Protein backbone atom coordinates (compact mmCIF):
# COMPACT_ATOMS: atom_id res chain seq x y z
CA UNK A 1 0.00 0.00 0.00
CA UNK A 2 1.32 3.43 -0.92
CA UNK A 3 0.85 6.33 1.42
CA UNK A 4 0.68 9.73 -0.18
CA UNK A 5 2.38 12.86 1.12
CA UNK A 6 -1.03 14.43 1.77
CA UNK A 7 -1.62 12.02 4.65
CA UNK A 8 0.93 13.83 6.82
CA UNK A 9 -0.69 17.27 6.76
CA UNK A 10 -2.07 17.30 10.34
CA UNK A 11 -0.07 14.38 11.69
CA UNK A 12 2.16 15.68 14.49
CA UNK A 13 5.17 13.61 15.46
CA UNK A 14 7.06 13.58 18.72
CA UNK A 15 10.68 12.59 19.04
CA UNK A 16 11.39 10.33 22.00
CA UNK A 17 14.24 11.07 24.38
CA UNK A 18 15.89 7.82 23.29
CA UNK A 19 15.99 9.07 19.72
CA UNK A 20 17.26 12.48 20.78
CA UNK A 21 20.01 10.80 22.80
CA UNK A 22 20.78 8.29 20.03
CA UNK A 23 24.01 8.54 18.16
CA UNK A 24 23.41 9.85 14.63
CA UNK A 25 24.52 12.59 12.31
CA UNK A 26 22.26 13.92 9.58
CA UNK A 27 22.38 17.07 7.48
CA UNK A 28 19.54 19.56 7.88
CA UNK A 29 17.90 18.36 4.65
CA UNK A 30 18.24 14.71 5.71
CA UNK A 31 16.64 15.52 9.07
CA UNK A 32 13.74 17.27 7.35
CA UNK A 33 13.20 14.32 5.02
CA UNK A 34 13.32 11.78 7.89
CA UNK A 35 10.86 13.82 9.95
CA UNK A 36 8.56 14.17 6.97
CA UNK A 37 8.58 10.42 6.42
CA UNK A 38 7.97 9.83 10.15
CA UNK A 39 4.96 12.15 10.02
CA UNK A 40 3.41 9.91 7.35
CA UNK A 41 3.29 6.92 9.73
CA UNK A 42 -0.12 6.44 11.33
CA UNK A 43 -0.65 5.39 14.94
CA UNK A 44 -2.42 2.21 13.94
CA UNK A 45 0.27 1.08 11.45
CA UNK A 46 1.63 -2.26 12.58
CA UNK A 47 4.28 -2.52 9.88
CA UNK A 48 6.33 -0.20 7.69
CA UNK A 49 4.72 0.84 4.43
CA UNK A 50 5.90 2.30 1.16
CA UNK A 51 5.58 6.08 1.05
CA UNK A 52 5.21 7.88 -2.25
CA UNK A 53 5.27 11.57 -3.08
CA UNK A 54 6.03 13.92 -5.92
CA UNK A 55 9.29 15.84 -5.89
CA UNK A 56 7.44 19.15 -6.39
CA UNK A 57 5.35 18.47 -3.25
CA UNK A 58 8.49 17.58 -1.34
CA UNK A 59 10.26 20.77 -2.47
CA UNK A 60 7.30 22.87 -1.27
CA UNK A 61 7.04 21.17 2.13
CA UNK A 62 10.80 21.19 2.75
CA UNK A 63 10.95 24.83 1.63
CA UNK A 64 13.96 24.40 -0.63
CA UNK A 65 15.10 25.54 -4.07
CA UNK A 66 13.76 23.61 -7.07
CA UNK A 67 16.98 23.48 -9.05
CA UNK A 68 19.14 22.63 -6.06
CA UNK A 69 16.86 19.88 -4.81
CA UNK A 70 16.55 18.15 -8.19
CA UNK A 71 20.32 18.19 -8.40
CA UNK A 72 20.88 16.94 -4.85
CA UNK A 73 18.08 14.38 -4.29
CA UNK A 74 20.22 11.48 -5.51
CA UNK A 75 23.01 12.36 -3.06
CA UNK A 76 20.58 13.03 -0.20
CA UNK A 77 18.94 9.62 -0.56
CA UNK A 78 22.33 7.88 -0.94
CA UNK A 79 23.50 9.48 2.27
CA UNK A 80 20.33 8.65 4.25
CA UNK A 81 20.51 5.02 3.14
CA UNK A 82 24.13 4.74 4.26
CA UNK A 83 23.67 6.36 7.65
CA UNK A 84 22.98 4.30 10.73
CA UNK A 85 21.19 5.22 13.93
CA UNK A 86 22.56 3.61 17.06
CA UNK A 87 20.31 3.34 20.12
CA UNK A 88 22.15 2.45 23.29
CA UNK A 89 20.72 1.21 26.58
CA UNK A 90 22.54 3.35 29.14
CA UNK A 91 21.98 0.79 31.89
CA UNK A 92 23.37 -2.28 30.13
CA UNK A 93 25.61 -0.74 27.48
CA UNK A 94 23.87 -2.84 24.85
CA UNK A 95 22.91 -1.16 21.60
CA UNK A 96 20.99 -1.70 18.39
CA UNK A 97 21.75 -0.20 14.98
CA UNK A 98 19.24 0.61 12.25
CA UNK A 99 19.29 2.13 8.79
CA UNK A 100 17.04 5.14 8.45
CA UNK A 101 15.62 3.98 5.10
CA UNK A 102 15.68 0.61 3.34
CA UNK A 103 14.71 1.57 -0.22
CA UNK A 104 14.55 4.80 -2.21
CA UNK A 105 13.14 4.99 -5.73
CA UNK A 106 13.11 7.98 -8.06
CA UNK A 107 11.18 8.33 -11.33
CA UNK A 108 11.26 11.29 -13.70
Cα distances (Å, whole numbers) of residue 70 to 10, 30, 74, 108 = 26, 14, 8, 10
Q: Which CATH number characterizes residue 66's domain?
A: 1.10.10
Task: Tell me how many domains the chain contains.
Answer: 1
List pLDDT tens digits, range 30-86.
888 888 888 888 878 888 788 887 888 888 888 887 778 888 888 888 999 998 888
On whether residue 73 sits in a domain, the answer given is yes
Mean pLDDT of 78-107: 88
Domain of 70 in residue numbering reads as 2-99
- pTM confidence score: 0.69
Phi and psi at residue 93, in whole multiples of 5°? 80, -5
Cα distances (Å, whole numbers) of residue 18 to 14, 30, 42, 85, 89 = 11, 19, 20, 11, 9
On whether residue 106 sits in a domain, the answer given is no
Cα–Cα distance, 1 to 44 (Å, whole number) = 14
Amino acid sequence: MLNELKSMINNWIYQSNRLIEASYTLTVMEQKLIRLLASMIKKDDDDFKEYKFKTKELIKILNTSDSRFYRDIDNITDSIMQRVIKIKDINTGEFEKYHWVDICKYKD
